[in-house]
Amino acid sequence: MHLRIEQNIRRLKDKIHNIPAEELSYKPTPEKWSKKEILGHLIDSALNNLRRFLIILYSYRNYEVRPYDQDYLVQVNHYQEADLDHLVTLWQSLNKQIANIVKEMPIKKLEHEVFIGPNEKRTCQWLIEDYIDHMDHHLDQILAAEAKPTKYHITKEEAIAALEDSAPQPFVTLLRHGELEVEYYKPDQVDNQLPHEKDELYIIASGSGEFVLEGERYDVKVHDVLFVKAGQEHRFVNFTDDFATWVIFYGIKR
C-alpha cells in the first residue's frame, strides 16, 4: 500500500506544474472546487487520516471513524488563494509520513477493527486502502486535462519563435516539470527584473554584457553560467542588442 502512495506523490509532482495556473484555479460553479481546492481537500484528508492511522497504531480499542466538514475546511484554509508550491510540498510531506507509517504497520494492527458507522465494521487495512482510492479519484480529477507532455528537447530557434509570439513581454516559459521551470529571456534595453522566489541559473544564449549581483559586477558572454539564490537582487546591464539568456528556476519557493 505504501508503494501506491509513493507512486502518487511522484505522479502529482511530475505533472501538476504542466497545468496552466488559470486552469488550476478555475471553478466550474461557485459551489464546486477548483483543482487547487481539490488538492487542498487532499491535504485535509491526509491530515485527518494521518491522525486516524496513528491512533489505531497506538491504541488497543476499536476505532470509530468520525466525519469532518470537508467544504468548511477547504474554505477556511483559503486553498484557492494559496501558493501552489506550498500546497504541493505540504501534501507530499504528509503522504510521505503516511507511507512510512503504513510500511511499518504490523499485520496485527492492519487487522484492527474500525467502525465506519453504527453497525458497519471494517479493518485498518480497509481504511488505508479506502484512503488511497480516494486519493486516486481526486488526483484523476486534478490531472485529467493536464497540458502537453514534457518536452525533452528545446532548440534556440524554438525559444526565439516562442518569445516573438509572447511579445511584448521579454520572456517566455518553455518547460515546466515538477519544481523546474525553463524560460528564455531577452531584455529590451533595460533589465527591470526583481528578486525571484526560487533559486535560478542563467546560461547566456547570445550577446554579452555585465551582470550585477548584490552589488558585485561580472562580465558575461555566450555560454557563461550564473547562479542566483532566491531573494537576491540581480540584473543585467550594459548588454548588447542581441543579448539573450536561458533562465532555469528550480526548487520550492522561498
pLDDT digits (tens, 9 = 90+) for 181-231: 899 999 999 999 999 988 999 999 999 999 999 999 999 999 999 999 999
Q: In the predicted model, is pLDDT for residue 119 greater than 80?
A: no
Burial class (CB in 10 A: 0-12, 13-18, 19+), 124: buried
Residue whose C-alpha cell reads 524560460 in the numeric block: 183
**Per-residue DSSP letter, 118:** T
Rounded distance between C-alpha atoms, residue 31 and residue 49, angstroms: 25
The whole-number pLDDT of residue 116 equals: 84
Return the percentage of the chain with pLDDT > 90, whole number.
73
User: Per-residue pLDDT for 146 more than 60?
Assistant: no
All cell numbers assigned to 125: 487495512
- Over 80: is that where the pLDDT of 177 sits? no
Model confidence band, residue 148 (pLDDT cutoffs 50, 70, 90):
low
- Where exactly are the structural domains of the chain? 2-143, 156-250
CA distances from 102 to 63, 106, 107 (A): 17, 9, 10
Question: At how many degrees (to 10) do helices 2-15 and 124-143 cross?
Answer: 10
The reported pLDDT for the residue numbered 203 is 98
CA pseudo-torsion sign 60, 66, 72, 74? positive
Binning pLDDT at 50, 70 and 90, where does residue 120 land?
A: confident
Q: Mean of the per-residue pLDDT values for the chain?
A: 92
Q: Is the pLDDT of residue 147 over 80?
A: no
Confidence of residue 22 (pLDDT cuts 50, 70, 90): confident
What is the predicted pLDDT for the residue at 145? 61
pLDDT band at 110 (very low <50, low <70, confident <90, very high): very high
Question: What class, spelled out in words, does domain 156-250 have in CATH?
Answer: mainly beta
Residue 253: pLDDT above 80? no
Per-residue confidence (pLDDT) for residue 29, from 0 to 100: 87
Predicted TM-score (pTM) of the model is 0.65
Please report which helix (H) or strand (E) contains residue 15, including its range.
helix 2-15
Question: Residue 245 pairs with which residues in a beta bridge?
Answer: 185, 204
Give the homologous superfamily in CATH for domain 2-143. Answer: dinb family like domain (1.20.120.450)
**pLDDT for the residue numbered 175:** 87
- The whole-number pLDDT of residue 227 equals 98
If we measure between CA atoms, which residue out of 16, 60, 18 comes closest to residue 35?
16
133 pLDDT more than 70: yes
Q: What is the pLDDT of residue 149?
A: 62
Position 252 scores a pLDDT of 75
- Where b means 16+ CB within 10 Å and e means fewer, 195-220 reads ebebbbebebbebebebeeeeeeeeb
